[in-house]
Amino acid sequence: MSAYVSFPDFPPDLTGQIVKHASIPGVGAGFWDIWRCTHNAASGSVQVAVKALRFQAAPGLRKTSMMFLRQEVEIWKRLDHPNIVQFLGVVEGFGSSVSLVSLWMANGTLDDFLHEHDVKLELTHRLQLLLDISSGIEYLHSLPVIHGDLSSVSNPGQPEHDYLIWFY
């Protein structure tokens, strides 16, 4: 584990189990880089997203960045809702500190999925989408959590149902 980070009750360290594939351009807002990877676990392989914090060069900003990372880990590891993408653990090797690992949503954002597949959702699917996303947001707002960037993503197992909220 990185010498820069010392968290009590730290989530699983997946270093050595994650294989890097590609950085995803345009995803990740200002503070993050997102990588598509494979998690090779004893139970099998699964596609994951690695969210790596971009550190600023200024000396005073490193401490602030580490506090930001700690807050992100503390919040995300507590979230447990069917419409929130699951936090799996942390990994080293994607930047100057640990990075966050979640399941990879193969269909991407809802907007990407609709654009790429030229899908026109029926009314029932649109209502399901609204219910899934609003359920995730309602859950977030029921907690003492201040969220920043959120994205709706489509679960690859059921592209027309189970829309999830993802922190990026």
Task: Please report, in tens digits, the pLDDT of each residue of the chain (168 residues total).
Answer: 444 455 556 788 999 999 988 776 545 556 678 888 999 988 899 999 898 877 655 667 777 777 777 887 888 888 888 888 888 999 988 877 788 899 888 777 777 767 776 567 778 877 887 888 888 889 888 987 766 555 555 554 444 445 555 554
Phi, psi of 30 (to 5 degrees): -65, -30
**CB neighbourhood size of 31 (10 A):** 18
The CATH number, out of the four listed (3.40.630.30, 1.10.3720.10, 3.90.1170.30, 1.10.510.10), of the domain defined by the range 18-167: 1.10.510.10
Report the distance separating Cα 98 and Cα 96, nearest Å: 7
Q: Which residues are catalytic?
A: 149
